A and B are shown apart, each in its own frame.
Chain A
Amino acid sequence: MSAVIEGHHDDHHHHGPAKGISRWLFTTNHKDIGSLYLWFSFIMLFIGGAMAMVIRAELFEPGSQIVSPEFYNQMVTNHGLIMVFGVIMPAFVGFANWLVPMQIGAPDMALPRLNNLSFWILPAAFGVLIATFFMEGGAPNFGWTFYAPLSTEYAPPTVTYFIFAVHIMGASSIMGSINVITTILNMRAPGMTLMKMPLFVWTWLITAYLLIAVMPVLAGAVTMMLMDIHFGTSFFKAGGGGDPVLFQHVFWFFGHPEVYIMILPAFGIVSHIIETFSRKPIFGYESMVYAIASIALLSFVVWAHHMFTVGMPIAGELFFMYSTMLIAIPTGVKVFNWLSTMFKGSLTFETPMLFAIAFVALFTIGGLSGIMLAIAPADFQYHDTYFVVAHFHYVLVPGALFSIIAGVYYWLPKWTGYMYDEFMGKTHFWLSFVSVNLTFFPMHFVGLAGMPRRIPDYAMQFADYNMIVSVGAFLFGLSQLLFLYVVLKAIFYGKKATGQVWEGAKGLEWTLDSPPAYHTFETPPNLESGEAKA
């Protein structure tokens, strides 16, 4: 450790990666750590996806066929937890690690050793979470929102491990965000002012701020649970003067900004892809920045729209209804800007662009069902039905996940130096596009007709749609195996990529070789010409 420093500091900038496993265990390189995050997220996608497959297999027909209701609850819970904390968030952190230093012309992340720690906490946390399946009482079974008293008085004993796993997961997110925010604020190349930063960097600056603001509140929520379960306090017990609804307030104060944490970086990725394949600079750069900032600020004052049916004073219902609807305005600005960027552009439809366009269309469907849910009186009908499941899966799967897939196709040649197979990529796209709609669109109908979520059985009249949904889900699951194949094929058998990769791509990362050297921008690039603007 300390031996590394002595006498080495003059030449250590120039040597390449260490050999073997120690490269990945001890690395302080933002590119290595970015790859670790992305592969971790990919593996978790298949674990969380397998759980989704179990859920859809059980719901293929009405009645109880494959798993017990108890195990079904564990599947629903861990599917949600893994997809949110183990797939979407780490994938975006992976993108941030790879791209933020290269896009702002920095030699690495600001605090490289902390960066490594942030990553390696995740396998520990999720290892414990998955290990709870094999412990007495089974894995957490109270839904990914872990409402009290389900998660306190009626929880399995493994909830204690769950609580501490969430604690270190939160620590990982906070450390990672401190690193990103410090890198962006302190390490930009001379000449790159804030309003010249690429949009992906902007979205991560604001995402990191949101993470630092709300992950500690989640830590507070699970700490209150721990105290209520084991130390006799009464935060969530009405008998002692507390209130189970308090849990929902604290949780959603974290949870709603969390929703935007999972979508803001997606906005950044999609903005880059759309401008590249439209061969036009993004329309309304400044309004994009202000829209991201407004969405982030509004996210702190809308949390109780998740709780319209729990019982709130009418003034509260109205406040949260209107503030939620306000979010449609900056989001609409973004969709408008993406469309305007494409308008009269020289469009080509490579795989990243296909996923990005699908993102714009399908995320908007999720956004519109969000406005329906924001209407408090209507929400009394929609609440806890499959309509809600359809809504948030539309923003998270063809929303966040599609942006991640689009970003992987877009930057994979830059990261690995090899081009993916365009035909296979497009096949992957069309399979995913069809199956994702087959999976989630019918959920709107069964939801409006009254099918409740989180129940392993349903009434006969929902049978046809559920069978369609399950078929779509299996197809979507298989399509992602194709994605894995395309990525591996590119890495091992792909054609050599050029540094520029895409004709229309602008930004500092495209001025580097593909793959970039192990250490890049050891001296900051000169940006006085203003070329680096997104």
Chain B
Amino acid sequence: MHRYFLAKLGQSILLLLGVLLLVFVMVRITGDPAALMMSRESSPEQLEAFREKMGFNRPVLVQFADFSSKAIKGDFGLSLHFRTPALQMVLERLPATLQLAAVGLLMAIVVAIPLGLVGGFNPGGLTDSVGRSLALLGQSIPNFWLALIMILFFAVRLGWFPSFGRDEIKSVVMPAFVMALPVMGQLMRLTRSAVLEIRGEDYIRTARSKGLEPKTIYFKHVLRNVAIPLISVIGVQFGYMLGGSIYIETIFAWPGMGQLLEQSIGWRDFPLVQAIAVFTSVIVLALNLLTDMAYALIDPRIRYGN
């Protein structure tokens, strides 16, 4: 079991190195990171001074060694726009994004899992049809558009919720809902197909034929097994929400990491973009690792299999 965890941890560390390399290469794809980060009106002297200051004229391998050794210590350099440490800027934005993703995830779970369970136990029923239509809709509505439409109706016309910012408790409702909708659909579909699959398993038939009460079968055998795939998907979805909040935060002026990303791209503040990318990736990788571990703790087949 320790070996399984160590192997997973090793993989995550390798992935993290891959992320650092990727983020390092990305600002250099065009060949000249200085031209990318400076305004177009900069004179050649200004560009040269900037290269000197940022160390862009050193050999690439030296630059990468420098970048990654600093990044591991949490040093991504100064934000070009704010002139303050980039990571600090990101950390200040973390709570808002976490709150948004957590509320969104909770909304998705509360709606999707009961619908998926009912749908799985009674496929083709009315609840199932309604649930699946909602899932399909959730998959097909562009979230950036839904956000605009919700602002129009619930903020501007009806005045139920504030249209932007994070000043009231109510503020979180609309952005979290928009964020939750696609996740809701996925979770519902997954719960439903897990129930369907587990209902057909031999051990359920055995439980039934030895005369167990349906309630016992439902709670002890089916639900516990449905929980296994759900845990892994919920973990992954949470990471997806943390990294995918850029539209929603931009539209609702939600002061999180997604909004910071959008702003820093506008300012061509690439040290800050790099810090956001690496930091978000670290959170996502950590979440995946935790999910894998939880998964292995719950399901011994994973721990001992290969």
Whether A and B are associated in the same complex: the answer reads no
